[in-house]
Amino acid sequence: NVKRKARVVFVLGGPGSGKGTQCEKIVENFGFTHLSAGDLLRAEINSGSQYGVMIQNTIKEGKIVPSEVTVHLLQKAMNGSDNDKFLIDGFPRNEENRAAFEAVTGIEPEFVIFFDCPQEELEKRLINRNQGRVDDNIDTIRKRFKVFEESTLPVVQYYERKQKLQKINGAREKEEVFKSLKPLFLPFLE
């Protein structure tokens, strides 16, 4: 089995910062496979998994699901794909996530995108999204912001120190944000 080692880009940013929106555009233009950790966890709830109730309660509280569960889902999705270019969206959310993924897969990201966006704008977007997510209510949204600041920003800073961080102003129009992403992905077309 000579399967090529996967190339991974982590996509981070506060709740509602446009991770999913921009990942879709990158998929269309640059041939990546999009793995949203949140989407994988929500699918796991709906599949009737033994972890379903635990995952559902964790998401409702805006907290972070244990790394073993999330890393397993990501690894399964990567192994089941023919692609070798992955956008991992919304992960790693804390230091434990980051270390577990690296230990289990042996993969370090090519780089890490971080969508920077003020909280008032994020709140407005999430309140207006209306897709029936159990965590899109003002109570849970505030908890998600707090967890993001306490647990995820340290991971962002870790990659900044490693000079792997690509900080993008996420408060602009969708097309403007995508324009800043394009140059980062051009090397992957070769």
Q: Is 4 annotated as belonging to a binding site?
A: no
Instruction: Out of 10, 30, 32, 91, point to the residue binding ligand UP5 (CB under 6 A).
Output: 91
**Minimum CB–partner distance for residue 106 and Mg ion (Å):** 26
- The answer for residues whose C-beta is within 8 angstroms of residue 71's C-beta and 6 or more apart is 97, 100, 101, 104, 105
H helix or E strand, kind and range, residue 165: strand 165-169
Q: How far apart are CA 118 and CA 10, in angstroms?
A: 20
Asked if 38 interacts with ligand UP5 (CB under 6 A), we say: yes
Q: How far apart are CA 102 and CA 104, in angstroms?
A: 6
Instruction: Out of 8, 19, 32, 100, point to the residue binding ligand UP5 (CB under 6 A).
Output: 19
Q: Is 112 annotated as belonging to a binding site?
A: no
Decide: 102 and 10 in contact? Cβ < 8 Å.
no
Asked if 24 interacts with Mg ion (CB under 5 A), we say: no
- The answer for residues whose C-beta is within 8 angstroms of residue 87's C-beta and 6 or more apart is 9, 11, 23, 26, 27, 32, 33, 34, 35
Instruction: Out of 20, 58, 84, 121, point to the residue binding Mg ion (CB under 5 A).
Output: 20
Nearer to ligand UP5, 13 or 109 (CB): 13
The interface with ligand UP5 within residues 64-83 (CB under 6 A) comprises: 64-65, 70
Q: How far apart are CA 119 and CA 76, in angstroms?
A: 33
Asked if 109 interacts with ligand UP5 (CB under 6 A), we say: no
Residue type, 124: K
- Residue 70's binding partner, choosing from ligand UP5, Mg ion, none, with beta-carbon cut-off 5 to 8 A by kind? ligand UP5
- Which residues contact ligand UP5 by CB under 6 A? 13, 15-21, 36-38, 41, 58-59, 62-65, 70, 90-91, 93, 97, 125, 129, 135, 144, 173-174, 177
